[in-house]
């Protein structure tokens, strides 16, 4: 994969990325305690344009970083407008102590968007 420098998405992908981030934020809000939900924001993603060696078309890989500059999420948009995103939450479930919320993920293509929280049993 060839990487080309870029920080922002093209205008035609901004709306898609906005819908993805909004769905992830809503899912995170449903799975965290009030006041503990991280802000998942499109403006905080650092994008890199990548070229798929198979078809030579551009795709985009974005990374969220926390205050310590550690990767805490990613968003990939492929050449066919399919996408996958994840954002780390690492918090106890607000209503069921048997579960720990690890991350929120989103995937799909164009208008088809699915989002869910990944949970693991608490110890």
> How much is the pLDDT for 24?
96
Name 30's Cβ contacts closer than 8 Å, sequence gap at least 6: 117
DSSP H/E element including 12:
helix 11-30
Distance (Å, whole) CA 6 – CA 30: 33
- Give the model's confidence band at 7: pLDDT under 50 very low, under 70 low, under 90 confident, else very high: low
Q: How far apart are CA 113 and CA 99, in angstroms?
A: 25
- Rounded mean pLDDT of 10-23? 92
Rounded CA-CA distance 104/90 in Å is 10
**Chain segment 33-87, per-residue pLDDT in tens:** 777 788 899 999 999 988 877 778 889 999 999 999 999 999 999 988 899 999 9
Indicate whether 122 pLDDT > 50.
yes
Question: Quick one: average pLDDT of 13-40?
Answer: 89
Query: What are the tens digits of pLDDT across the range 79-116?
Result: 888 999 999 998 888 888 898 889 999 999 988 999 99
Q: Sheet of 46-51: strands edge to edge?
A: 2-4, 46-51, 58-65, 71-77, 82-92, 99-109, 112-121
Beta bridge partners of 103: 88, 118
The whole-number pLDDT of residue 5 equals: 52
SS3 84: strand
Q: Given pLDDT bands bounded at 50, 70 and 90, which one contains residue 2?
A: very low
């Amino acid at each position: 994969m060839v990487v080309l420098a870029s920080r922002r998405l093209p205008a035609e992908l901004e709306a898609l990325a906005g819908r993805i981030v909004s769905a992830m934020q809503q899912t995170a809000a449903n799975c965290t305690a009030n006041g503990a939900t991280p802000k998942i924001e499109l403006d905080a993603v650092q994008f890199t344009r990548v070229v798929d060696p198979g078809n030579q078309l551009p795709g985009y890989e974005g990374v969220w970083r926390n205050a310590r500059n550690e990767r805490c999420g990613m968003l990939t948009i492929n050449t066919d407008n399919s996408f996958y995103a994840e954002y780390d939450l690492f918090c106890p479930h607000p209503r069921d102590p048997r579960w720990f919320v690890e991350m929120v993920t989103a995937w799909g293509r164009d208008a088809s968007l699915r989002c869910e929280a990944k949970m693991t049993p608490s110890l």
